């Protein structure tokens, strides 16, 4: 990536700290989550490799190891916060796809609320089922089936998103609009699944 | 003089502060531990319990009494003896209505919504009361170490504590004259104490049922990094509630036997609470136990046998509440119970057999109980303290923020800025703008919690942005950065992005203690609480005399032949007088005895110095002397 450590001059693998001498680097403008963790932007990521990178980078920048000096501690806090945010985005496939669409100049959620047409018909049915579940306030076999259906659909939408983003389309490619609408569908499914999970937890409580 | 010269003989009497203490500031009791000889160790004075009851008693005159001595005043002076202070930390009156209903305290609220407890017409914030407990813990640690304990500390809090409760804990430590290196979550600390980093990789659940709070934390351990995946809990659920279940049972029956009037008495209430606590503890090791309430002066003699089955039925709803939190934590961590490799039990109430059985059944494995559940949190805090002073770098803790952070929107709903279970440190930036021309200020309301409406969440404060340059409506763009640090404490900074005016924008918190208030309390605690100050001084002097006495006693026999008879007699007398004075509480008498002791030890010091010099001349090292 060209940048060099401000302390020892070694080539930097991460923007936050030097893997050669351990020195914290000055806080530059925040980059995309892949760059913050030393990866190339791509939709397909190895979960274990990502986790290991977070752990090894945290060992370099965590404020626990930079507590002696107030300004170093503040710098370590800022770097750690960036690492954690970058990891949170990359560890979640939907958020990762969302970030990649943004990076490739595609539409963001607020500019396009479109969903796939066939999906909208299903949404009407699901909304009805969800309304029923809300009213029942109890867990049942039917609700479990609904959950499984939504979860399977979520998996299918994400698989389609993966197909559209691997290999990554060119900057501003029209395919990004399709990815956007599928991610909007995933967003709907996540909200519905979250609501059902809350219902399951409160039903077990009672 | 003599004091310093004895130091030449490799006897560190006035140690430089290198270590740091781990302190568990609990609802019912508190204690300290330190890293020593390659492992964390609880600091206890021989012949005493390591646990300092978190109780403060205010006598009508004189210094406040803290710890065991305070606890003993509970029945005789119930209104002047404050228990469960931790439940009030960072809370307002309406947050603790449930607590206040069962405790005989007079409580008021400050202008900023903080609770104050009133004793003998004087008001105390929970921070001030906790500071007294922390000082007592520090003093006990010093006695155990035989020297002044480090003032740098790691203090633990329940994982589910919100921002104001964490800030209050930090302020309490500052008021106690301690430097807080880190606020650590109790369950996370416990996992450190168990040395689970020795295992290669795995998922761990820590179930922490304390005196007043319940936490459950799911962690993953990999390559020495403890990464918290999720935490859930209830800051209003603990051993106190188990006592309360027995109290409720007893009250109904006592009212029937002796009339309800007897229960109105605060002393009787405290006595009953303590009797129920005793019964609960006995039931952990026996199938049946009794609640005894004997108050001769009130002509009450009541006893009631409780079987373990009866007790378990009474507390079943409480145990179920803890299991609901376990399900929530697993759900957030996206792990089913069978994927958990280890379960650790923490907190005194985890000794209750029905709790253990329920946890074992839920996770399908026998939980760890090897370490004393009352001590494990302090031990873990000592491990973290050791890491923070640079002693250990192979272990790293990555913890999370337990509650989502949000801003109230126009309609009273919450817009979430940071999700719960985000790894800390974490930060997020939110944009705000003006709605009127030339508006120079923006107010916003920050809340913590999972509910949809701001009014159902915990208010962290209404912040005011001031000093925005005058512009047409909607033109100003203020970026507000929310940063939750490694302690889980929030800081807010703002910057007007269009004009770049960052320095002039002022963020004013409207909740909790301001720095000035903490400074003010620090000053007044020394101005007005002279007795308190004296007590601290006496404790320090006693520690110092103890250290000097050990140094002299160690060298006296060897040096006996070299000292003239008069000096020897003088020294032995001064030693005895100083030791006697150290047992008392009179700081002035102690100071005098200490000074005389120091003077009397001068000839011994001179003699030893001489020997050192001679041996050194003969080519021998100091260590051999």
Q: What is the pLDDT of residues B421-465, one digit of tens each?
A: 999 999 998 888 888 888 888 888 888 888 888 888 888 877 777
Which tokens hold the place of A59? 């060992």
Catalytic, out of B99, B162, B163, B186:
B186
B341 in catalytic set: no
Spatial separation of the C-alpha atoms in residues B90 and A85, rounded to whole Å: 29
Mutation target to probe the B interface, by most B beta carbons within 10 A, among A65, A81, A89, A205 is A81
Picking from A1-5, B287-291, B537-541, which range would have the lowest pLDDT averaged per residue?
B537-541
Give pLDDT, residue B618.
55
* pLDDT exceeds 80 at position B503: no
Residue pair B215/B160 in contact by the 8 Å Cβ criterion: yes
Percent of chain A clearing pLDDT 70 (strictly above): 99
CA-angle at B228, arms to B223 and B229, nearest 5°: 110
pLDDT of residue B441: 83
B297 is catalytic: no
Closest CA to B196 of B79, B342, B304: B342
Instruction: Choose among B138, B99, B134: nearest CA to B117.
Output: B99
Judge whether B64 and B58 are in contact, CB under 8 Å.
yes
Q: What is the pLDDT of residue B7?
A: 34
Locate tokens 């867990």: which residue? Answer: A139
Q: What is the 3-state secondary structure (H, E, C) of B546-574?
A: HHHHHHHHHHHHHHHHHCCHHHHHHHHHH
Query: pLDDT higher for B373 or B458?
Result: B373
User: Mind listing the pLDDT tens digit for each residue in B15-39?
Assistant: 445 799 999 999 999 999 999 999 9
- CB-based contacts of B237: which residues, under 8 Å, 6+ apart? B209, B212, B213, B214, B318, B321, B322
Number of neighbouring beta carbons within 10 Å of residue B375: 21
pLDDT at B619 > cutoff 50: no
| Range B573-600 average pLDDT | 87
Partner residues linked to B24 by β-bridges:
B31, B156
Percent with pLDDT over 90 in chain B: 48
Task: Note the pLDDT of residue B521.
Answer: 60
Identify the helix (H) or strand (E) that includes residue B244: helix B239-258
**Cβ neighbours of residue A202 under 8 Å, at least 6 residues apart?**
A137
pLDDT at B3 over 50: no
Q: Which of A111-125, A152-166, B56-70 is predicted with the least confidence, judged by mean pLDDT? A: A111-125
Cα distances (angstroms) measured from residue B190 to each of B26, B331, B335, B343, B532: 14, 22, 21, 11, 33
Q: With contacts defined as CB-CB under 8 Å, which chain B residues touch A77?
A: 425, 483, 485-486
Looking at residue B442, its pLDDT comes to 83
Distance from CA of B450 to the nearest CA of A (A): 11
Instruction: Compute the 3-state secondary structure of chain B and give helix, strand, coil in percent, each to the nearest 5.
Output: 45, 25, 30
B325, B302 contact by CB (below 8 A): no
Q: Residue B394 — pLDDT band, cuts 50, 70, 90?
A: confident
Active site residue B564: no
User: Mean of the per-residue pLDDT values for chain A?
Assistant: 92
Sign of dihedral through CA atoms A107, A110, A111, A117?
positive
Query: How far is the C-alpha of B620 from the C-alpha of B607, rounded, in Å?
Result: 17
pLDDT at B467 over 50: yes
Closest CA to A100 of A89, A84, A116, A115: A89
- Beta-bridged to residue B432, according to DSSP, are B478
Tokens 């800025």 — which residue? Answer: B417
Question: Above 50 in pLDDT, residue B8?
Answer: no
B284/B279 Cα distance (integer angstroms): 9
Report the pLDDT value the prediction gives residue B515, as an integer from 0 to 100: 61
Q: Which helix (H) or strand (E) holds B384?
A: helix B376-388
What's the pLDDT tens digit per position in B208-247?
999 989 999 999 999 889 999 999 998 889 999 999 999 9
User: Would you state the structure tokens that stand for residue B126, as one six-digit string?
Assistant: 């929970």
Tokens of B601: 């030890």
Q: Are B538 and B587 in contact, with CB atoms under 8 Å apart?
A: yes
Q: Does A77 touch chain B (CB under 8 A)?
A: yes
Q: Report yes or no: B227 at the A interface, CB cutoff 8 Å.
A: yes
Euclidean distance between CA atoms B187 and B381, whole angstroms: 10
* Residue B328 burial (C-beta neighbours within 10 Å; 0-12, 13-18, 19+): buried
DSSP state of B613: H
A164: closest CA of chain B, how far (Å): 27
Residue B314 has pLDDT above 70, yes or no: yes
Strands B21-25 and B152-157, by their bridges, are parallel
CA atoms within 13 A on the CB side of A170: 2
For residue B546, name the pLDDT band (cuts at 50, 70, 90).
confident
Report the alpha-carbon distance of residue B218 to residue B421 in Å, rounded. Answer: 10
pTM attached to this predicted model: 0.82
For B549-581, what is each residue's pLDDT tens digit?
888 888 887 777 788 888 888 888 999 999 888
Instruction: Name which residue leads in pLDDT, A12 or B537.
Output: A12
What span, in angstroms and rounded, lies between the C-alpha atoms of B623 and B600?
A: 25
Give ∠ CA A76-A80-A86 in degrees, rounded to 5: 150
Token pair belonging to B444: 């916003």
Residue A103 to residues A30, A157, A160, A168, B49: CA-CA distances in angstroms?
13, 20, 19, 11, 61
pLDDT digits (tens, 9 = 90+) for B400-422: 999 999 988 877 888 889 999 99
C-alpha dihedral sign at B588, B591, B597, B603: negative
Q: What is the C-alpha separation between B59 and B61, in angstroms, rounded?
A: 5
Predicted local confidence at residue B523, as pLDDT:
57
With a cut of 90, say whether residue B472 has pLDDT above it: no
Active site residue B86: yes
Report the Cα–Cα distance between both ends of chain B, in Å, rounded: 20
The model's pLDDT over A147-181, given as tens digits with 9 standing for 90+, comes to 999 999 999 999 999 999 999 999 999 999 999 99
Question: A36, A60, A80: which to substitute to probe chain B, counting the most B Cβ within 10 Å?
Answer: A80
Give the residue-averaged pLDDT of B486-504.
Answer: 76
Report the share of chain B in percent with pLDDT over 70.
89
Note if the bond before A83 is cis, omega within 30 degrees: no
What is d(CA B383, CA B389) in angstroms, rounded to the nearest whole number?
Answer: 10
Q: Where are the alpha helices (DSSP H) in chain A?
A: 33-36, 47-61, 70-91, 93-103, 117-136, 141-165, 175-205
Strands B179-185 and B152-157: parallel
Pick the catalytic residue: B80, B86, B136, B171? Answer: B86
Decide if B465 contacts B399 (C-beta within 8 A).
no
Identify which has the larger pLDDT, A142 or B558: A142
Q: Is the ipTM of this complex over 0.90?
A: yes
- Note whether A30 contacts B: Cβ–Cβ < 8 A: no
Asked whether the beta carbons of residue A58 and residue B181 sit closer than 8 angstroms, the reply is no
For B198-218, the pLDDT digits (tens) are 777 899 999 999 998 999 999
3-state secondary structure of B77: coil
- Cβ contacts of A129 within 8 Å, gap of 6 or more: A146
pLDDT in tens, A81-117: 999 999 999 999 999 999 999 999 999 887 888 888 8
Lowest mean per-residue pLDDT among A95-104, B155-164, B374-383, B510-519: B510-519
* Average pLDDT over all residues of chain B: 85
CB contact under 8 A, B425 and A81: yes
Query: Strand, coil or helix: what is B515?
Result: helix
Which residues on A lie below 8 Å from B324 (Cβ)?
Answer: 201, 204-205
């Amino acid at each position: 990536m060209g940048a060099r450590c401000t302390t020892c001059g070694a080539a930097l693998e991460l923007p936050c700290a030097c893997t050669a001498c351990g020195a914290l680097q000055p806080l530059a403008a925040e980059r995309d989550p892949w760059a913050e963790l030393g990866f190339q932007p791509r939709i397909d990521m190895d979960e274990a490799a990502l986790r290991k990178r977070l752990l090894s980078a945290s060992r370099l920048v965590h404020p626990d190891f930079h507590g002696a000096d107030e300004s170093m501690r503040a710098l370590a806090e800022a770097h750690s916060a960036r690492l954690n945010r970058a990891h949170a985005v990359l560890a979640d496939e939907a958020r990762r796809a969302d970030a990649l669409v943004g990076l490739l100049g595609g539409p963001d959620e607020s500019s396009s609320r479109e969903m796939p047409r066939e999906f909208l018909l299903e949404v009407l049915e699901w909304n009805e089922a969800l309304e029923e579940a809300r009213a029942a306030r109890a867990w049942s076999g039917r609700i479990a089936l609904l959950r499984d259906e939504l979860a399977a659909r979520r998996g299918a939408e994400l698989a389609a998103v993966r197909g559209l983003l691997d290999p990554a389309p060119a900057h501003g490619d029209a395919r990004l609009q399709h990815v956007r609408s599928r991610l909007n569908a995933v967003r709907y499914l996540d909200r519905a699944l979250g609501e059902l999970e809350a219902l399951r937890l409160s039903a077990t409580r009672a | 003089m003599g004091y310093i010269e004895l130091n030449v003989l490799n006897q560190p009497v006035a140690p430089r502060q290198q270590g740091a203490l781990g302190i568990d500031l609990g609802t019912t009791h508190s204690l300290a531990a330190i890293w020593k000889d390659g492992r964390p160790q609880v600091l206890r004075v021989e012949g005493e319990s390591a646990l300092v009851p978190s109780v403060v008693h205010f006598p009508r005159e004189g210094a406040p009494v803290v710890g065991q001595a305070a606890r003993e005043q509970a029945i005789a002076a119930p209104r002047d003896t404050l228990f469960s202070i931790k439940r009030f930390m960072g809370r307002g009156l309406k947050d603790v209505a449930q607590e206040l209903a069962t405790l005989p305290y007079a409580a008021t609220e400050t202008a900023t919504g903080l609770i104050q407890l009133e004793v003998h017409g004087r008001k105390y914030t929970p921070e001030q009361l906790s500071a007294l407990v922390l000082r007592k813990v520090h003093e006990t640690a010093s006695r155990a170490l035989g020297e002044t304990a480090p003032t740098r500390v790691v203090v633990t809090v329940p994982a589910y504590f919100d921002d104001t409760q964490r800030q209050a804990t930090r302020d309490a430590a500052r008021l106690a004259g301690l430097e807080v290196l880190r606020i650590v979550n109790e369950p996370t600390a416990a996992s450190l104490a168990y040395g689970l980093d020795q295992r290669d990789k795995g998922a761990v659940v820590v179930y922490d049922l304390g005196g007043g709070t319940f936490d459950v934390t799911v962690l993953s351990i990999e390559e020495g990094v403890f990464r918290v995946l999720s935490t859930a809990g209830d800051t209003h659920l603990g051993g106190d509630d188990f006592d309360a279940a027995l109290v409720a049972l007893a009250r109904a029956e006592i009212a029937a036997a002796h009339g309800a009037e007897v229960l109105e008495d605060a002393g009787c209430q405290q006595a009953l609470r303590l009797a129920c606590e005793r019964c609960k503890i006995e039931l952990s090791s026996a199938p049946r136990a009794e609640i005894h309430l004997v108050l001769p002066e009130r002509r009450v003699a009541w006893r009631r046998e409780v079987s373990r089955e009866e007790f378990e039925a009474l507390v079943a709803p409480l145990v179920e509440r803890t299991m609901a939190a376990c399900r929530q934590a697993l759900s957030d961590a996206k792990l089913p119970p069978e994927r958990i490799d280890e379960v650790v039990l923490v907190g005194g109430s985890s000794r209750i057999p029905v709790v253990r059985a329920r946890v074992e059944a839920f996770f399908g494995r026998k939980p760890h109980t090897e370490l004393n559940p009352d001590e494990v949190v302090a031990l873990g805090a000592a491990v973290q303290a050791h890491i923070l002073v640079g002693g250990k770098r192979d272990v790293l803790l990555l913890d999370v923020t337990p509650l989502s952070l949000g801003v109230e929107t126009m309609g009273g709903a919450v817009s979430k800025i940071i999700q719960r279970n985000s790894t800390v440190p974490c930060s997020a930036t939110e944009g705000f703008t003006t709605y009127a021309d030339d508006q120079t200020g923006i107010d916003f309301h920050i809340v913590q919690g999972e509910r949809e409406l701001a009014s159902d969440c915990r208010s962290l404060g209404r912040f005011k942005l001031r000093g925005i340059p005058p512009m047409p409506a909607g033109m100003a763009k203020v970026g507000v950065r929310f940063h939750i640090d490694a302690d889980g404490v929030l800081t807010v900074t703002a910057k007007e992005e269009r004009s770049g005016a960052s320095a002039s924008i002022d963020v004013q918190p409207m909740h909790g203690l301001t720095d000035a208030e903490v400074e003010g309390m620090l000053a007044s605690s020394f101005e007005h609480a002279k007795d308190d100050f004296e007590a601290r001084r006496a404790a320090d002097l006693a520690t110092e005399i103890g250290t000097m006495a050990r140094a002299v006693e160690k060298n006296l026999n060897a040096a006996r032949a070299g000292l003239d008879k008069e000096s020897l007699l003088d020294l032995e007398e001064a030693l005895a007088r100083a030791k006697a004075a150290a047992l008392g509480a009179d700081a002035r008498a102690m100071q005098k005895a200490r000074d005389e002791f120091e003077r009397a030890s001068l000839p011994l010091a001179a003699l030893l110095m001489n020997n050192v010099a001679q041996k050194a001349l003969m080519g021998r090292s100091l260590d051999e002397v």
